Amino acid sequence: MLVLENHRKASLSSLVKENLQLYFRKNDLKGGDPIPTEAELAEGLGVSRTAVREGLKSLESLGIIDVKPGIGRFLKNFNFDSILDNLTYSIEMDVRDFRDILEVRIALESSFIGDYIHNYTESQLAELENIIAEMEKLDAQGCSEEAMIQIHTRFHLALYKDHGNQLLLNLIKIFSTVQRTVSVLNHYRIQDMRKFIDLHVRIISAIRSRDAEVARAALIAHFDEPRLWKAESRSSAIRP
């Protein structure tokens, strides 16, 4: 009975949250506009003030509402930052999520690198090559997995930082956070570091040649090892 009551409470809370957002849109509220009082919202939605208060708190935690003490609640201007911040914490860092995120990452990056292949400058390529040199140095020193993931993230951010798409950069950071967490929790390690680094060199070489297909192929190939790992992990998890 307690489980049923908790489920009903959670369902009501989600419904109120959704209806609050719909209310804002229907009433054409924009970023910076004051939000009606709890009493007005409760009457308009046909729910209790307590339910409204909980819904508003949920929207505040998502970065949709801004609370100014002593003044009131205001609708925030839309931005991706709060959505992405919450996404990182809402993902259940398991192998299945890692698989899904990896597939999305590969699709996004292989598309962007091909579209941008003719726009890379010599200074961008030099920056990428410097990062590769750091990878080589870390490998020679027997670096930790986390250190390599961090420098690997820098490489991918450098690949796309001049595209002008901040959302892509933020997503790459999230992908890296998930990978780092899964690596720690599931003891994943790069097995062939030499091949891993060489594939990054191949990516840069393809960019220099302005060969979009080779660049895409190298980029996809450098994800082969984690893709194989997550497939094996999935198989062992479902094996009777």
pLDDT tens string, the chain, 240 residues long: the values are 333 334 344 466 678 888 888 888 888 888 889 999 999 998 888 888 888 988 888 888 777 888 898 898 998 876 555 555 555 555 555 556 677 888 888 999 999 999 999 999 999 999 999 999 999 998 888 877 778 888 989 999 999 998 888 888 888 888 877 777 766 666 667 778 888 899 999 999 999 999 999 999 999 998 888 777 766 655 444 344
Measured distance CA(202)–CA(64) in Å, rounded: 43
Helix (H) or strand (E) holding 99: helix 95-115
CATH topology of domain 2-78: Arc Repressor Mutant, subunit A (1.10.10)
Q: Where in the chain is the domain with CATH 1.20.120.530?
A: 82-238
CATH topology of domain 82-238: Four Helix Bundle (Hemerythrin (Met), subunit A) (1.20.120)
Q: Look at residue 237 in the predicted model and tell me its pLDDT.
A: 46
Q: Look at residue 24 in the predicted model and tell me its pLDDT.
A: 86
Q: Look at residue 11 in the predicted model and tell me its pLDDT.
A: 63
Largest CA distance in the chain: 67
Cα distances from 79 to residues 100, 135, 160, 166, in angstroms, run: 24, 34, 20, 11
Residue 47 φ/ψ region, left for φ over 0, alpha for ψ in the -120 to 50 degree band, beta for the rest: beta
Q: Look at residue 190 in the predicted model and tell me its pLDDT.
A: 75
Q: Look at residue 91 in the predicted model and tell me its pLDDT.
A: 52
Q: Look at residue 183 in the predicted model and tell me its pLDDT.
A: 66
Q: Look at residue 80 in the predicted model and tell me its pLDDT.
A: 56
Q: Where in the chain is the domain with CATH 1.10.10.10?
A: 2-78
Q: Look at residue 154 in the predicted model and tell me its pLDDT.
A: 93
